[in-house]
Chain A
Amino acid sequence: MTAVAPESQSRPLLDVRGLRKSFGGLSAVQGFSLPLPERGLYGLIGPNGAGKTTVFNLLTGVYTPDEGAIRLGDRPLAGLNPHQIALAGMSRTFQNIRLFGELSVLQNVQLACALRTKRHLFWTLLRTAGSLHREAEVRARSLELLELFHLQHRAHEPARSLPYGHQRKLEIVRALATQPKVLLLDEPAAGMNPQEKRQLGETIRHIRDTFDVAILLIEHDMGLVMDICERITVLDHGETIAVGSPREIQADAHVIKAYLGAADQL
């Protein structure tokens, strides 16, 4: 096991310590810790069923951790509702795409974009100048964002009618629209061909640089992870079996065993 490399910098942006979650006696994740610095681009890998998505669900409040602490900046997040965590600055995409299919592409982004604008029921129904103004702002920002990702020409189509690759991209745009500090990407390259994957890698780096976010990436495609991630955490059966730079991970015996162990027995 590779020891956690001593980070010389002060406190990380996202500080996860000792996360544990079990479902009815079955331990899904235990002892998960992760210090994600500002503008870090970290990876989370592991065989199927290793608990990667469960970690995302714990971080975003879909599940409440049994044990452990999550801090974003100075704010403890464990136990908060998902929408409060989104407001605190953590946003995510989903492994199986979860767009609002019947809503238009633009509306998907607008919804996320309006996160930090005030929406009062009564003023909305009266259509006060203020509420109209805020709405116009949200719309303009959403369109800008879509343009940045070359989706503007499909803005008015229902999200479910987009081709698969665009849907994946839209999920990322939607997550970015909440203006997060930390972005969690759950298998963004699933179902893409090598060329698309390479482009995606570029895009992810680009997002990190232009939007100033820290990114945690779950991905099965080793090429992509090794290529873009600075540090990688490897999960197996809910436990962290290795942490390190791509090079260290590639050489790690535990990781090789976790990935190839099953193959040996065949």
Chain B
Amino acid sequence: MTDTHQSRVSSQAGLGRTLWNALWPVLVAVLCGLVMHLAIGPWAGGYASTVMVACAINVVLAVSLTVVNGFAGQFSLGHAGFMAIGGYTAAGIVYYGSLLMWGDASPSGSVLSASFDEVAGRPWLAAGDALFVVACLVGGLMAAIAGYVVGLPSLRLRGDYLAIVTLGFGEIVRVLLQGTKGQIQPWKMSELAETPGWRLPLHLGGPQGFNLLPVYTTLFWATAAMTLSAIVIYRLKYSALGREFLSVREDEIAAQAMGVNVTRAKVRAFVVAATFAGIAGGLYGHLTGTMNATELDFKRSIEIVIMVVLGGMGSISGAAMAAVLLTILPELLRDPPAIWPAGLLVLAIVTFTQWRRRRFSWPVLTGIIVATIVFEVGRRVAIAHAVDLADYRLVIYALLLILMMLLRPDGLFGVHEFWDVLGLRRVPRPGIDGRSEVEA
């Protein structure tokens, strides 16, 4: 990562630098994807891989929502709506595209698009992959357009009103998608041939959902999308535009007086967030082979909001960590592992950061110890009485959310990143820097 102030570049070096900066995130994303897909996935097994893919998709969703709810300080409750728009767009392109081009809706992907027990004999790149990637990108584009449209009312509304409008938007999207006609089944090619191309977007499965989609999403694609979105949004945060977003969140009137076009900033935030949500929707649909708008209702939106809120309103790493935690929480609760090692680890990290700052906060340390003991006791009681804690998952979410607001309203890391809070750097980085203490 380059610090911007070191980059006094000469014009000849400019082009090379531009290319390198544009390319390395893609390379890193592909590399991370390959490692996960070819090494860690097979090692962890099929079920764990599926959970990891779900984690990665949720990270994309949470990190993208951070742009609106965290950086720009708007409150969107319609993220699932963008996900649905992107997902259905991608699904329509892949499904009807496959039928029209290959007369078959089964996937024709490469090694990258197959689970590790099916990779044998597949090529490294295939036409199906290209179709899938293009479809996801177009899905992102459609969602971006929707984001633009939704961003517009945010000019006139703020806070909770905007929350309700975005929620209403998500519900309208859901209702409209459920109102589409049934999909043209793969065995009715004659019907497909009779239907003009422009009418195909009307046949998206309706209330039954859009089924029989070719399955492309693997750990490779999910990890690559996650890495790429994290890098892009990190760049956004530490740029002039990110500063604009943050200034809008801090004080709209002052931001305007300093020449920030608040309107444009908000709409941009919505567009960026929606794009990634749309891509995540594409990944989601091609993971299970079905898109169902009923699952993409406001409850899904709220789930994503919880991730952002818990991680910290504006913290990319925080949102990502919360997304992973909340995705695996049901798995953890089904068979709860011992809590105390995690408690000790957190205690060690917090003690370390406080020692680095020479500022110990006893309430925080005691709080962690007490919480660890309470959770550990709760776990043992649950095991002893054979209670399935997974049934209580949503109750736990709700309590986490309320407690977080009461005790640490900025979320785990606030607007800061995980590594900022650790206090490892002596010189604060350019950007959101310099909160001088870990606050209770």
Binding site for B on A (CB under 8 A): 60-62, 81-83, 86-87, 91-92, 94, 98-104, 106-107, 110-112, 114-117, 119, 121, 124-136, 138-140, 156-158, 161, 174-175, 177-178
* A114 proximity list for chain B (CB < 8 A): 240, 243
Per a CB cutoff under 8 Å, which of B235, B258, B432, B435 touches A111?
Answer: B258
Per a CB cutoff under 8 Å, which of A86, A156, A174, A177 touches B428?
Answer: A156
Per the bound structure, the CA–CA distance linking A132 and B22 in Å amounts to 12
B303 beta carbon closer than 8 Å to chain A: no
- With A100-B247, A103-B432 in contact, is A128–B22 under 8 Å at CB? yes
Q: Is the interface of A mostly helix, strand, loop or mixed?
A: helix
- With A100-B246, A121-B268, A156-B433 in contact, is A128–B254 under 8 Å at CB? no
Partner-binding segment picked from B2-10, B91-99, B127-135? B2-10
B258 pairs with A178, CB closer than 8 A: yes
Per a CB cutoff under 8 Å, which of A62, A110, A136, A158 touches B435?
Answer: A158
A121 pairs with B262, CB closer than 8 A: no
17 CB-based A-B contacts, threshold 8 Å: A83-B261, A92-B257, A107-B243, A107-B432, A114-B240, A115-B258, A119-B244, A121-B241, A125-B236, A126-B21, A128-B17, A129-B13, A133-B7, A135-B240, A136-B4, A139-B430, A158-B434
* A103 proximity list for chain B (CB < 8 A): 243, 246-247, 250, 432
A100 pairs with B251, CB closer than 8 A: yes
Fill in one digit per residue for B9-41: 1 if any A CB lies within 8 Å of its CB, else 0: 100011101100110000000000000000000
* A82 proximity list for chain B (CB < 8 A): 253, 256-257
Closest to A133 in B: B9
- With A130-B14, A136-B5 in contact, is A102–B428 under 8 Å at CB? no
* A111 proximity list for chain B (CB < 8 A): 240, 243-244, 247, 255, 258, 260
B195 beta carbon closer than 8 Å to chain A: no
A94 pairs with B7, CB closer than 8 A: no
How far is the CB of B7 from the nearest CB of chain A, in Å?
5
- With A87-B259, A92-B257, A103-B247 in contact, is A130–B5 under 8 Å at CB? no
- With A82-B257, A110-B240, A117-B240 in contact, is A136–B250 under 8 Å at CB? no
Per the bound structure, the CA–CA distance linking A116 and B268 in Å amounts to 19
Shortest 5 CB-CB distances between A and B: which pairs? A129-B14, A86-B259, A82-B256, A115-B259, A100-B250
Closest to B414 in A: A102
* B256 proximity list for chain A (CB < 8 A): 61-62, 81-83, 86
Closest to B272 in A: A121
Per a CB cutoff under 8 Å, which of B18, B261, B415, B433 touches A128?
Answer: B18
Fill in one digit per residue for B119-146: 1 if any A CB lies within 8 Å of its CB, else 0: 0000000000000000000000000000
Closest to A138 in B: B240
A119 pairs with B247, CB closer than 8 A: no
* A99 proximity list for chain B (CB < 8 A): 250-251, 254
* B432 proximity list for chain A (CB < 8 A): 102-104, 107
Closest to A154 in B: B434
Closest to A92 in B: B257
Closest to B260 in A: A83
Per the bound structure, the CA–CA distance linking A136 and B7 in Å amounts to 7
* B254 proximity list for chain A (CB < 8 A): 94, 98-100
B433 pairs with A132, CB closer than 8 A: no
B431 beta carbon closer than 8 Å to chain A: yes
B232 beta carbon closer than 8 Å to chain A: yes
B interface bracket (residues with beta carbon within 8 Å of A): 35 or more
Per the bound structure, the CA–CA distance linking A62 and B258 in Å amounts to 12
Per the bound structure, the CA–CA distance linking A111 and B13 in Å amounts to 27
How far is the CB of A165 from the nearest CB of chain B, in Å?
19
A127 pairs with B14, CB closer than 8 A: no
B190 beta carbon closer than 8 Å to chain A: no
Per the bound structure, the CA–CA distance linking A62 and B243 in Å amounts to 21
Per a CB cutoff under 8 Å, which of A83, A127, A157, A158 touches B235?
Answer: A127
Per the bound structure, the CA–CA distance linking A128 and B4 in Å amounts to 11
B22 pairs with A126, CB closer than 8 A: yes
How far is the CB of A65 from the nearest CB of chain B, in Å?
17
* A139 proximity list for chain B (CB < 8 A): 4-5, 430
Question: Which chain B residues (417-440) contact chain A, with CB distance < 8 Å?
Answer: 428, 430-436
How far is the CB of A129 from the nearest CB of chain B, in Å?
4
A98 pairs with B251, CB closer than 8 A: yes
B239 beta carbon closer than 8 Å to chain A: yes
Interface centre among A116, A124, A138 (most CB of B within 10 A): A124
Per a CB cutoff under 8 Å, which of A87, A132, A158 touches B4?
Answer: A132
Per the bound structure, the CA–CA distance linking A104 and B420 in Å amounts to 14
Per a CB cutoff under 8 Å, which of A98, A129, A140 touches B253?
Answer: A98
How far is the CB of B235 from the nearest CB of chain A, in Å?
6
* B251 proximity list for chain A (CB < 8 A): 98-100
How far is the CB of A225 from the nearest CB of chain B, in Å?
23
Closest to A94 in B: B254
* A112 proximity list for chain B (CB < 8 A): 258-259
How far is the CB of A166 from the nearest CB of chain B, in Å?
14
B241 pairs with A104, CB closer than 8 A: no
Per a CB cutoff under 8 Å, which of A100, A140, A161 touches B5?
Answer: A140
Per the bound structure, the CA–CA distance linking A112 and B255 in Å amounts to 8
How far is the CB of B222 from the nearest CB of chain A, in Å?
21
* A110 proximity list for chain B (CB < 8 A): 240, 243
B5 pairs with A83, CB closer than 8 A: no
How far is the CB of B397 from the nearest CB of chain A, in Å?
27
Per the bound structure, the CA–CA distance linking A156 and B261 in Å amounts to 25
Question: Which chain B residues (164-187) contact chain A, with CB distance < 8 Å?
Answer: none
Per the bound structure, the CA–CA distance linking A130 and B272 in Å amounts to 21
A124 pairs with B240, CB closer than 8 A: yes
Interface centre among B256, B431, B436 (most CB of A within 10 A): B256
Per the bound structure, the CA–CA distance linking A91 and B14 in Å amounts to 34
Closest to A88 in B: B259
Per the bound structure, the CA–CA distance linking A81 and B261 in Å amounts to 9
How far is the CB of B16 from the nearest CB of chain A, in Å?
8
How far is the CB of A174 from the nearest CB of chain B, in Å?
7
